[in-house]
């Protein structure tokens, strides 16, 4: 049976070769290999941490492997996870890290490979790693120090400036707390917090959303409170989207691109069992997730269907909905803390293509909004090309829509200072939450 570090090498190989997403792959490995609870934390830490800091580790490792013939992929990954533990995990002695790495190298390769691994790691132990201060170019320094591709750092510096970009990139290296939204259709935040504390969870109120509970350690998805349908696991920034619609009792709402249903169910809760939420998503298996969550939460006012939101005019008549939510597919650069491999997987061309898809979806769902109704556009990215620029182009082509000044009154006061021209952009370091964008548009009567 493989130990945690051998499994980490396998998992990281799969992420690199198969372009697997780390968050999905981790759960698969934990289940398939029946990793015990006491080891699951270390396995997750090594895999996530090594992906998160890959470019920094490569920078540190490069001088020590420069004279080696081309290393096999698994040997390079073994060195990477070992260096990650030596540099970033205080509780594991360096001698233990090196011993484990050499044993894995012997088992997986041969004595020669083990000798190389031992030599590289002991040399780093003796000499230390080079300083990041040796990098004179500011952009490159942020890129290497925080493991973000240089083109991305350049783009963000253009959009937000050097200081904000540095803060954002540094924040992306920090592990996120788990947050959950209380189903206020069934109980108050205070009541749910008491139940969780009785179950032994260490929870506090959120700082941004009035519906949020923040967990200090553990997983609320295993709580009895979650099982009873009183909670949904969701980031605080994401919890601002549904209230931005300003739904009123009895209204009809359309949520396109809705899976896995976090915002759909929030809208259902805000309607307090009245009205109707129609939710669509491109993939049938993802629609099942929406149905499953609505059932768990006891929401009967949600109807979900697999459908391409660019063709919805085939099934819904014009001006059918009081409110429409477009939580658009995006680069996901606001959730890098949760999905660290995203920053290496996306390219500038991907962003261009996504912006085109986003505009296309907005154009196709806009006719469904009633006169005087509301269209909310949101993404979990911080890229202006996918956010402000998409909204700006949509408004140019759809003059019967305009940015809604009422938007500010629908979000918590703590976020007001980040609203600009009727649009809210939350960067990850503002509230220690996901980066998120929300724009509320009004259709003229």
CATH class of 178-233: alpha beta
Confidence of residue 1 (pLDDT cuts 50, 70, 90): low
pTM of the prediction?
Answer: 0.93
Whole-number mean pLDDT of the chain?
A: 94
Distance CA 225, CA 196 (A): 7
Whether residue 71 is predicted with pLDDT greater than 70 in this model: the reply is yes
**247-272 pLDDT, tens digit each:** 999 999 999 999 999 999 999 999 99
pLDDT of residue 38: 76
- Cα dist. 83→88, 107, 203, 331 in Å? 8, 19, 34, 30
Residues annotated in a binding site: 257-263, 281, 308, 327
Distance CA 242, CA 258 (A): 12
Please state, as a whole number, how many other Cβ atoms lie within 10 Å of the Cβ of residue 172.
24
pLDDT of residue 32: 80
- Between 273 and 121, the more confident residue is 121
Distance CA 328, CA 359 (A): 9
**What is the average per-residue pLDDT within 236-256?**
97
Q: Tell me the domain boundaries of the chain.
A: 4-127, 138-172, 178-233, 236-443
Residues annotated in a binding site for S-adenosyl-L-methionine: 257-263, 281, 308, 327
**307-341 pLDDT, tens digit each:** 988 888 889 999 999 999 999 999 999 999 999 98
What pairs with residue 425 in β-bridges?
437
Whether residue 20 is predicted with pLDDT greater than 80 in this model: the reply is no
Query: Tell me, which fold does domain 4-127 have in CATH?
Result: N-utilizing Substance Protein B Homolog; Chain A (1.10.940)
**Least confident among 23-27, 283-287, 363-367, 414-418:** 23-27
The three-point CA angle 294-295-300 to 5° equals: 70
pLDDT of residue 17: 79
Active centre residues (catalytic): 380
Confidence of residue 18 (pLDDT cuts 50, 70, 90): confident
Distance CA 434, CA 437 (A): 10
pLDDT of residue 19: 66
Distance CA 26, CA 430 (A): 28
CATH class of 236-443: alpha beta
Tell me, rounded to whole angstroms, the distance of Cα 314 from its chain centroid: 32
**204-233 pLDDT, tens digit each:** 999 999 999 999 888 899 899 999 999 999
């Amino acid at each position: 049976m493989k130990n945690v570090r051998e499994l980490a090498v396998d998992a990281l190989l799969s992420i690199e070769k198969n372009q697997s997403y780390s968050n999905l792959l981790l759960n698969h490995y934990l289940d398939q290999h029946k990793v015990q609870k006491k080891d699951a934390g270390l396995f997750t830490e090594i895999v996530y941490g090594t992906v998160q800091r890959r470019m920094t580790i490569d920078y540190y490792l490069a001088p020590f492997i420069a004279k080696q013939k081309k290393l096999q992929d698994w040997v390079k990954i073994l060195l990477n996870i070992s260096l990650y533990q030596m540099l970033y995990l205080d509780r594991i002695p360096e001698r233990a890290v090196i011993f484990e790495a050499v044993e894995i190298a012997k088992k997986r390769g041969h004595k020669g490979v083990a000798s190389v691994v031992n030599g590289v790691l002991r040399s780093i132990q003796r000499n230390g790693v080079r300083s990041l201060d040796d990098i004179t170019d500011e952009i490159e320094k942020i890129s290497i120090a925080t493991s973000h591709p240089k083109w991305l750092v350049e783009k963000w510096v253009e959009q937000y400036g050097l200081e904000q970009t540095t803060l954002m990139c540094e924040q992306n290296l920090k592990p996120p707390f788990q947050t959950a939204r209380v189903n206020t259709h069934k109980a108050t935040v205070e009541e749910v917090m008491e139940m969780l504390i009785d179950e032994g969870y260490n929870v506090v109120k959120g700082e941004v959303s009035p519906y949020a509970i923040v967990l200090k350690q553990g997983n609320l998805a295993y709580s009895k409170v979650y099982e009873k349908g009183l909670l949904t696991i969701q980031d605080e920034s994401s919890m601002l989207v549904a209230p931005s619609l300003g739904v009123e009792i009895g209204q009809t709402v359309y949520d396109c691109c809705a899976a896995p249903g976090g915002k759909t169910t929030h809208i259902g809760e805000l309607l307090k069992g009245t009205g109707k939420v129609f939710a669509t998503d491109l993939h049938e298996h993802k629609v099942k997730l929406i149905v499953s969550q609505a059932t768990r939460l006891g929401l009967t006012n949600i109807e979900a269907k697999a459908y391409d939101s660019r063709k919805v005019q085939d099934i819904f008549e014009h001006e059918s909905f009081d409110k429409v939510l477009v939580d658009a597919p995006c680069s996901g650069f606001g959730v890098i803390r949760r999905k660290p491999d995203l920053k290496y997987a996306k390219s500038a061309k991907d962003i261009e293509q996504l912006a085109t898809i986003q505009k296309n979806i907005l154009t196709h769902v806009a006719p469904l909004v009633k006169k005087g109704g509301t269209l909310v556009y949101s993404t979990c990215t911080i890229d202006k090309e996918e956010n402000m620029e998409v909204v700006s182009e949509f408004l140019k082509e759809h003059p019967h829509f305009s940015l809604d000044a009422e938007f500010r009154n629908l979000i918590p006061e703590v976020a007001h200072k980040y609203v600009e021209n009727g649009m809210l952009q939350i960067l990850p370091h503002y509230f220690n939450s996901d980066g998120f964008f929300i724009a509320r548009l009004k259709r003229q009567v």
